[in-house]
Structure 1
């Protein structure tokens, strides 16, 4: 008499694998939702400790990913997004510790009011459920997404790019260690068990298992998710960001901020890609700005006016204004004041992060009010477009849409709400 053999997830076909993954995530999320804040804090702290303890193994896994990416001909900007070192690993762990110390978003009362008849209303924060994240090269996204979802009571399903597979798997081992140490099911955090591209299509259709889908990557990935997904999508569009130097800007401050905004890390979505400068100060300030950027290793591409002032720069073309370079390249466009700067941003910006450098507070306030972007800076580098810098511990992305969440998405933004209504035998006439 033959015995039946219990199938593992990897024995199933792709569709059934994904359904089993979704079932496991939903079941684990129900347990997580009922957990105390202290339990979730302990899980995050244990995960942070496990990441630190696994530093050598993680560096080894990441080195293999980087070597593979170089063999595939990936450029330096891609490698920078993929690569980990001791500082970036410590940054991941510190981010988990910071998330652990944030207030509990669950059960928070947003609004509270009473009716004249004594009925009481509370609007109370609750988890979204299961959050799926599709991302490309940056392995730290796995740690940030898993930690923020854990903090907010959500289970996660993660699908990273093949280039970061080894690094992501090692990071998630550490996070799962933290979950198990805190007495939570490992299935709170899940990774799609295959690099088959068809698995992404399966995620798009898992409306009974996934409550929110977040794409982290380039324009083509985000566009595909937004066009094909039946699951609600929180969009993270690329960052075609501008630093606008108004005629009232302090020259030294403007130069320092623009060089940092472009060159601190060129491969992040918060990097400035286009510098706008008022015509009234272009002849005076632009040569120094170009020199400082060039000295930092940046190629400068300018419009006709910019090139007439600084002949050594490259000539820009119209398509440059829509480029997310993610590299040591910046476009320079000369404008006639704040109106033209806002018009250029409206036409070419992606709603991510915009900056004005100005001493004129009235002009700065107008820019802050009128520019259409998730984050608007005044006299500060666009590189601050980061959830950690906002005090969120980390972010799951920079949301560039207008619904549900906008800007850096932290744990509190991964919640919804329901209403508690308390009566004393009230009936409706």
Structure 2
């Protein structure tokens, strides 16, 4: 009997969100913005119940031995809820891309063809411990006239249930259908597998989380996948890098929030810069609680540090651990990055403009930085209000995915009786 009830939840909610999709795409920008404002206000007025639910998830996580960096991803605070509310209000100020005419032309036979932006339809969101994704995904989808079916992880279930309850409460006071945002509460893996095959209900799946989660969705799903990527990100400190700038950026890119995907996992250092400033950098990282794993070529210079191996170059730690690679020039740095990068975010610190151009032309990643931290690869930081994820693929969308990434196109053709010979 229990299995039947669970299956009914999966399909019943899928049917509701599909029906809501047909309604929400007819809503005006003003109606969508009003709904986002109401949700933003309810997040604050009902924050106590959200925080109480989150503490249940945190308690279970600690009992199960979850590491501190993952607990940080799971944790909600009054400040983080305020941030989610602010993000929704920022979305209301952004241009609504739905209905935009991207191109228009007239054919010799008189047909007028318009290429316009339209919603994707129903977005299936598959994500792990971060409950803020619940609000980000809902906000971006609602602004673009999409409905969203959420499938979070068991570790954040109570938090996600509370957040969706608040969203539903808010939507009841808006012009948008409540079922525009639905949460699958059954977090079993076999139910997730069925979720990946909801063709006819879902138009696209967006996985957001670990490399393992993303690859599981890509490999198993029959619904089209808009792939986000893990973040094995690098910082290359070139020979001409200003020491204070390099130190500041390295510390920020590693320690500001180690558990997220735009944090660096490897620092690549030019051997000349290492000889002059390496001691200060490594001491600063160590003082900040970062475990440094040193390139074997530099191990004699730092006998107290663990030695990095090939696994370290390929690892997304999501923790206060960093691998340090030593190179002789920018070309060696580029080769290392292109071999081990997950194509997320890569940075170069240098005063050599020729090396900047080479780096920008040769490194294959969604976002490249010169003299800035990789922590800026983020929808809010890019001015998108929020993000549905960060795409490392090359089709449809790449980098932080904001409103435009949640649209597709439709051709509108105006005629006056033309027929094809």
Q: TM-score, normalised by structure 1?
A: 0.95
Q: Give 1:346 deviation, angstroms.
A: 1.3
The 3-state SS of whatever aligns with 1:201 is helix
The correspondence for 2:261, drawn from 261, 266, 269, is: 269
**1:293 aligns to what?**
285
The correspondence for 1:168, drawn from 155, 160, 165, is: 160
Q: Give 1:74 deviation, angstroms.
A: 0.2
C-alpha distance in structure 1 between counterparts of 2:104 and 2:307, whole Å: 58
Q: Give 1:295 deviation, angstroms.
A: 1.5
Matched, 1:345 2:340: no
Q: How does 1:391-402 map to 2 (within 5 A)?
A: 391-402=383-394
What do the CA deviations read for 1:127-149 (whole angstroms, capped 9, x no partner)?
11111111110000100011111
C-alpha distance in structure 2 between counterparts of 1:345 and 1:187, whole Å: 44
The 3-state SS of whatever aligns with 1:275 is strand
What do the CA deviations read for 1:224-260 (whole angstroms, capped 9, x no partner)?
1111100011112210000011112111111100110
* Runs (5+) with no aligned partner, structure 2: none
The correspondence for 1:186, drawn from 178, 182, 187, is: 178
Structure 1 stretch displaced more, 52-61 or 222-231: 52-61
Q: Give 1:50 deviation, angstroms.
A: 0.3
Kindly tell me: are residues 278 and 146 of structure 1, through their superposed partners in 2, closer, same or farther at Cα, counting changes over 3 Å?
Answer: same
What do the CA deviations read for 1:248-275 (whole angstroms, capped 9, x no partner)?
2111111100110000000011000000
Quote the RMSD (CA, aligned, Å): 1.6
Q: Is the 8 A contact 1:283 1:309 kept in 2?
A: no
C-alpha distance in structure 1 between counterparts of 2:237 and 2:72, whole Å: 28
Q: Is the 8 A contact 1:142 1:172 kept in 2?
A: yes
C-alpha distance in structure 1 between counterparts of 2:263 and 2:27, whole Å: 38
**2:302 aligns to what?**
310
C-alpha distance in structure 2 between counterparts of 1:80 and 1:221, whole Å: 19
Q: Give 1:310 deviation, angstroms.
A: 2.8
**2:189 aligns to what?**
197
Matched, 1:139 2:138: no
Q: Is the 8 A contact 2:345 2:368 kept in 1?
A: yes
Q: How does 1:399-418 map to 2 (within 5 A)?
A: 399-418=391-410
Q: How does 1:364-403 map to 2 (within 5 A)?
A: 364-403=356-395
C-alpha distance in structure 1 between counterparts of 2:355 and 2:416, whole Å: 54
The 3-state SS of whatever aligns with 2:69 is helix
Matched, 1:18 2:13: no
Q: Is the 8 A contact 2:161 2:185 kept in 1?
A: no
C-alpha distance in structure 2 between counterparts of 1:191 and 1:108, whole Å: 30
Q: Is the 8 A contact 1:286 1:310 kept in 2?
A: no
The 3-state SS of whatever aligns with 2:312 is helix
**1:54 aligns to what?**
46
Structure 1 stretch displaced more, 129-138 or 197-206: 197-206
Matched, 1:67 2:56: no
The 3-state SS of whatever aligns with 1:402 is coil
Q: TM-score, normalised by structure 2?
A: 0.97
Kindly tell me: are residues 83 and 428 of structure 1, through their superposed partners in 2, closer, same or farther at Cα, counting changes over 3 Å?
Answer: same
C-alpha distance in structure 1 between counterparts of 2:340 and 2:159, whole Å: 35
Q: How many residues align structurally?
A: 421
Q: Give 1:43 deviation, angstroms.
A: 0.5
C-alpha distance in structure 1 between counterparts of 2:268 and 2:278, whole Å: 10
Q: Give 1:19 deviation, angstroms.
A: 1.9
C-alpha distance in structure 1 between counterparts of 2:90 and 2:169, whole Å: 18
Q: Give 1:51 deviation, angstroms.
A: 0.3
C-alpha distance in structure 2 between counterparts of 1:251 and 1:117, whole Å: 65
The 3-state SS of whatever aligns with 1:410 is coil
The 3-state SS of whatever aligns with 1:342 is helix
Q: Give 1:117 deviation, angstroms.
A: 4.9
**1:212 aligns to what?**
204
Q: Is the 8 A contact 1:45 1:178 kept in 2?
A: no
Q: Give 1:280 deviation, angstroms.
A: 2.4
The 3-state SS of whatever aligns with 2:412 is strand
**1:428 aligns to what?**
420
C-alpha distance in structure 1 between counterparts of 2:395 and 2:248, whole Å: 34
